[in-house]
């Protein structure tokens, strides 16, 4: 069996081979991770798993032809043969007209607080207790059973580029989700995510899930129509944050964005300001450099409702005569953390603001689907608790409704946001988002089966 080599040697070996084969540009990155998982269902643990991996990623350019690979068999023989295969592949490909280089270094990199948890090793011993505390909290609120997953990992990242990037960083991450049930139709959910275990509140996640499930008992079919809606951070992270996430030139070019030709336009109210911010302490999308090795930072996307700009890698930036925002994606730009400046109301005040209009409070959603990305036409199905709000109070639970609207209509009709700003990362929100509770006016709700 071929002998595997250490990280530094595999990077040097890769660079030597790329130079030998006359590649002009390259980025070499290794990621060494140790990842653990706990799954539970019906209040019982069903899976406990741990796995370690080291992956070598190679992006390389030869005569304007771009190629890439990931290597998991990290022997010298495999690395050399894989890069030789890349050279052969490059010879058969057309020139990549969209490739315009990678960032020129050398660079200095930011210091990001709370990127790696100093108590990560101790967390293993506490993981089961933490999950059990969430399950108990859900039961105390009235839930009969709960299911969910806890994932945690530590990753060491090493990156080198042909243009002077040289960086090593360490990070940790924790993602916990719980869904609780009183009966088959009465459910609630909670999440707790971040880079530091000390900032996770497992008990609150379970209590939120159990409380919503209990409140959902006795739900009736809702009436289609126009409503004001109060969106929990889980829902807002999906459909409100979708608009700043669409501020991506690659998505515009391939027809997956509703923001074409809208830079400088008013797309939301004055109260909405949104950044892409890779420097947030405890942010799951925070990192010191992007995939080109370019330093990351904070980039304004929407300021007082005005679309100010897009995120960029080197290639997309050169196309429009600007500079990289530190958001590479070697193929296309990628967001880090999407951060909404919070509002100045409490959740209770959001309920009160909307007391004179038909209002729904929506706690979770799934199956967000588009019928037109260019126009931002979409629908999504509320999941778990959804409630009518009457006279500023949460009242009757309702079911069988679907949000059917456009992303720009939703964004421009934001009425208010809460003081809370919660980090969200879920199955429906794979991109980390920091977002409050959001009140939106005049949202179209249709029957769920339509």
Give the end of a domain, one of 215, 241, 261.
215
pLDDT at 77 over 90: yes
Q: Are residues 181 and 249 in the same domain?
A: no
Q: How much is the pTM? A: 0.95
Extended strands (E) in 195-239: 220-221, 225-231
Q: Are residues 161 and 244 in the same domain?
A: no
What is the spatial distance between Cα 127 and Cα 205, in angstroms, rounded to a whole number? Answer: 15
Give the end of a domain, one of 197, 215, 233.
215
Q: Are residues 239 and 173 in the same domain?
A: no
CATH, residue 196:
3.30.2290.10
CA 120 from centre of chain: 22
Mean pLDDT, residues 73-81: 94
Give percent of the chain with pLDDT exceeding 70: 98
Are 340 and 356 a contacting pair, CB within 8 Å? Answer: no
Q: Give tens-digit pLDDT for 403-448.
A: 999 999 999 999 999 999 999 999 999 999 999 999 999 999 999 8
Mean pLDDT, residues 390-396: 94
Q: Is the residue at 358 inside a domain? A: yes
Q: How confident is the model at residue 1 (pLDDT cuts 50, 70, 90)?
A: very low
Question: What range does the domain containing 125 cover?
Answer: 120-215
pLDDT at 135 over 50: yes
Q: Give tens-digit pLDDT for 327-362.
A: 999 899 999 999 999 999 999 999 999 888 999 999
Mean pLDDT, residues 229-254: 98
Q: Are residues 277 and 231 in the same domain?
A: yes
Q: How far is CA 6 from CA 13, 24, 224, 352, in A?
A: 11, 25, 61, 60
Which is nearest to 39 in space by CA: 147, 126, 138? 147
pLDDT computed for residue 354 by the predictor = 84
Q: Are residues 384 and 236 in the same domain?
A: yes
pLDDT computed for residue 450 by the predictor = 46
Mean pLDDT, residues 140-169: 97
Name the domain count of the chain.
Answer: 2
What is the spatial distance between Cα 69 and Cα 81, in angstroms, rounded to a whole number? Answer: 12
Q: Is the residue at 312 inside a domain? A: yes
Mean pLDDT, residues 242-258: 97
Q: Are residues 247 and 385 in the same domain?
A: yes
């Amino acid at each position: 069996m071929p002998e595997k080599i250490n990280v530094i040697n595999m990077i040097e070996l890769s660079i030597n081979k790329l130079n030998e084969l006359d590649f002009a540009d390259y980025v070499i990155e290794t990621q060494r991770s140790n990842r653990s998982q706990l799954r539970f269902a019906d209040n019982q643990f069903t899976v406990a798993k741990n796995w370690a991996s080291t992956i070598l990623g190679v992006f390389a350019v030869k005569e304007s032809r771009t190629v890439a690979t990931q290597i998991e068999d990290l022997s010298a023989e495999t690395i050399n043969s894989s890069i030789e295969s890349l050279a052969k592949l490059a010879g058969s490909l057309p020139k990549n007209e969209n490739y315009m280089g990678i960032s020129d270094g050398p660079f200095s990199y930011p210091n990001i607080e709370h990127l790696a948890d100093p108590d990560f090793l101790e967390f293993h011993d506490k993981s089961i207790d933490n999950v059990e505390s969430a399950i108990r909290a859900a039961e105390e609120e009235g839930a009969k059973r709960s299911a969910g997953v806890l994932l945690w990992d530590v990753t060491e990242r090493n990156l080198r580029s042909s243009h002077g990037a040289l960086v090593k960083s360490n990070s940790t991450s924790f993602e916990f989700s719980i869904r609780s049930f009183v009966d088959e139709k009465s459910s609630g959910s909670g999440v707790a995510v971040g880079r530091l275990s000390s900032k996770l509140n497992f008990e609150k996640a379970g209590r939120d899930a159990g409380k919503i499930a209990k409140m959902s008992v006795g739900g009736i079919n809702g009436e289609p129509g126009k409503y004001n809606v109060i969106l929990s951070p889980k829902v807002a992270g999906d459909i409100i944050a979708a608009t700043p996430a669409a501020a991506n030139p690659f998505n515009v070019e391939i027809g997956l964005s509703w923001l074409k030709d809208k830079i400088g336009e008013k797309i939301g109210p004055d109260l909405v300001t949104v950044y892409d911010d890779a420097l947030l302490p405890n942010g799951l999308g925070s990192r010191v450099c992007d995939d080109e090795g370019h330093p990351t930072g904070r980039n304004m996307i929407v300021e007082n409702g005005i679309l100010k700009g897009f995120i960029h890698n080197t290639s997309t930036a050169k196309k429009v005569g600007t500079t990289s925002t530190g958001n590479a994606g070697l193929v296309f730009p990628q967001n880090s953390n999407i951060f909404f400046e919070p509002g100045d109301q409490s959740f209770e005040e959001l309920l009160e603001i909307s007391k004179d209009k038909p209002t729904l409070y929506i706690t979770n959603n799934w199956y967000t689907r588009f019928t037109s990305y260019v126009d931002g036409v979409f629908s999504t199905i509320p999941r778990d608790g959804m409630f009518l709000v009457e006279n500023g109070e949460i009242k009757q639970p309702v079911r069988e409704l679907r949000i059917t609207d456009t992303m720009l209509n939703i964004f421009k009709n934001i009425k208010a946001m809460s003081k809370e700003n919660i980090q969200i990362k879920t199955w429906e929100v794979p991109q980390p988002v920091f977002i409050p509770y959001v009140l939106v006016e005049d949202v179209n709700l249709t029957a769920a089966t339509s």
